Amino acid sequence: MRTMWRWVRIASGIAVRGVGDTTLRKAVAGKVVLVTGASEGIGAATARRLGRAGAIVLLVARTAARLETVRREIAEDGGIAHVYPADLSRPDEAEALGLRILDDHRRVDVIVNNAGRSIRRSVADTSDRFHDVQRTIDLNYLGPVQLLLVLLPAMRAAGRGHLVNVSTAGILTPAPQWSSYLASKAAFDVWLRSAAPELRRDGVTTSTFYCGLVRTRMSAPTKAYRDAPAMTPDEAAAVVCRAVARRPRTIEAWWMRPSELFAAAFKGTVERSLSGDNALDTLRAAIASGLLRPSRLLRLLRATRRYGWTLAAAVEAGPADGIALVDDHGSITREQLRLDMRGRAAYLRDMGVTAGDRIGIRCGNDRGLVTTAAAAGLLGADAVLLPPTLDDDELTAVTAREGLRLTVGDGPTAAPTWLPRPRRPGRLTVLTSGTTGPRQAVRRPITWRVLLGPAVTHLRLIPLRPGTPIAVAAPAYHGYGLSYLAAGLALGAPVVLATGLRPHRLREIVDTHRPTALFALPVQLGRLADLPEADALHGRTRLVTGSEPLDPELCLRLLDVFGDRLFNLFGATEAGWATIATPADLRAAPGTVGRPPRGVRIRVLDGDGRDAPPGEAGAVHVSGWLPGGALVATGDVGYLDRAGRLMLTARVPAPSPR
Residues taking part in catalysis: 181
Q: Could you please report the per-residue DSSP string of 147-186?
A: HHHHHHHHHHHHT-EEEEEEEEGGGTS--TT-HHHHHHHH
Residue type, 558: L
SS3 100: helix
d(CA 457, CA 437): 32
Strand 441-442 relative to strand 427-431: parallel, antiparallel, unpaired? antiparallel
- Provide the β-strand partners of residue 250: 208
Number of H helices, E strands in the chain: 24, 24
- Provide the β-strand partners of residue 385: 361, 430
* Contact between residue 113 and residue 633 where contact means Cβ atoms under 8 Å apart: no
The 517-520 sheet, strands edge to edge? 330-333, 323-327, 495-497, 470-472, 517-520, 542-545, 566-572, 576-581
d(CA 578, CA 638): 13
Q: What share of the chain is helix, strand, coil (3-state, %, to 5)?
A: 45, 20, 35
Closest residue by Cα to residue 13 from 237, 170, 211, 178: 211
- Provide the β-strand partners of residue 602: 622
Supply angle C-alpha 633, 636, 641, rounded to 5: 105
Q: For residue 449, what are the contacts with CB-CB under 8 A and spacing of at least 6?
A: none
The torsion angles phi and psi of 407, rounded to 5 degrees, stand at: -120, 130
DSSP class of 135: H
